[in-house]
Amino acid sequence: MTRPLIIAPSLLASDFARLGEEVRAVDRAGADWIHIDVMDGHFVPNITIGPAVVKALRRHSDKVFDVHLMIAPVDAYLEAFAGAGADIVTVHAEAGAHVHRSLQTIRELGCRAGLALNPGTPAAAVEPLLGDVDLILCMTVNPGFGGQAFIPAVLDKIRLIRSWTEGRNVDIEVDGGITAATAPKVWEAGANVLVAGSAVFRGGEDAYAANIAAVRSAVETTAV
């Protein structure tokens, strides 16, 4: 199995008054990517940050900025997030009628294109779009908040999507309720990018490296 394990701390669980320092802290602590949750109070019942904040954070880390857009409509904002320094821009399959257009636009803007599925959205939603995605995000909670419980029913969907993406350069990402306990399950099902918010940003800055290492080693010690 050659797929890389990628740990992506979600800034949603960080101290928003110290975002730049928090990005530097998880960068130093061993984060592979930085996961940035953008919420609009419409597609999801919470509001977070916009492209100006992503741009301001860009100078704090050279790691991949993995921008998860939970906004609808989304197309009018893609250019702003790409221009702000996003490396990956992920849109939700449920966020609009023309998701194919959104994915094409993201690639035209020079970013990797991600497609997210809510827990209640079937795998079939990505099947016609497999040639247009670089990453598929299987939400393992209903998006909107950190600290929610992992939904195990998503594991079967991950397995199915992994079977469709064998041989393609497509990452499978999970987001929500990822801890050292759930990480081995999603890895075994076929996910390779693990977003973790509350499991990383707890115990203060000095604990971040151990928190990230705990998720990583939980996978590495159970991986076959």
Residue 51 binding result from Zn ion, ligand DX5, none, given CB thresholds of 5 to 8 Å by partner type: none
CB 121 to ligand DX5: min, Å: 14
Angle at 161 between CA 200 and CA 113, to 5 degrees: 65
Residue 37 touching Zn ion (CB under 5 A):
yes
Q: Are 169 and 201 in contact (CB under 8 A)?
A: no
Which of residues 1 and 125 has its CB atom nearest to Zn ion in the complex?
A: 125
Please, which residue, 170 or 215, has the CB nearer to ligand DX5? 215
Interface with ligand DX5 in residues 131-160 (CB under 6 A): 141, 143-144, 146-148
Is residue 216 part of the contact set for Zn ion (CB under 5 A)?
A: no
Stretch in the footprint of Zn ion (CB under 5 A) among 57-65, 78-86, 96-104, 174-182: 174-182
Please choose which of Zn ion, ligand DX5, none residue 162 contacts, taking the beta carbon within 5 to 8 angstroms, the exact cut-off set by kind.
none
The closest residue (CB) to Zn ion is: 68
Residue 62 known to be catalytic: no
Residue 166: CB minimum distance to ligand DX5, A? 26
CB 9 to ligand DX5: min, Å: 9
Q: Is 171 a catalytic residue?
A: no
Binding residue (CB under 5 A) for Zn ion from 68, 112, 162, 185: 68
How many Cα atoms are found within 13 Å in the side-chain-facing hemisphere of 194? Answer: 35
Distance, CA of 89 to CA of 177 (rounded, Å): 21
Position 92 contacts Zn ion (CB under 5 A): no
Catalytic positions are: 37, 175
Q: Which residues bind ligand DX5 (CB under 6 A)?
A: 10, 12-13, 35, 37, 68, 141, 143-144, 146-148, 175-178, 195-199
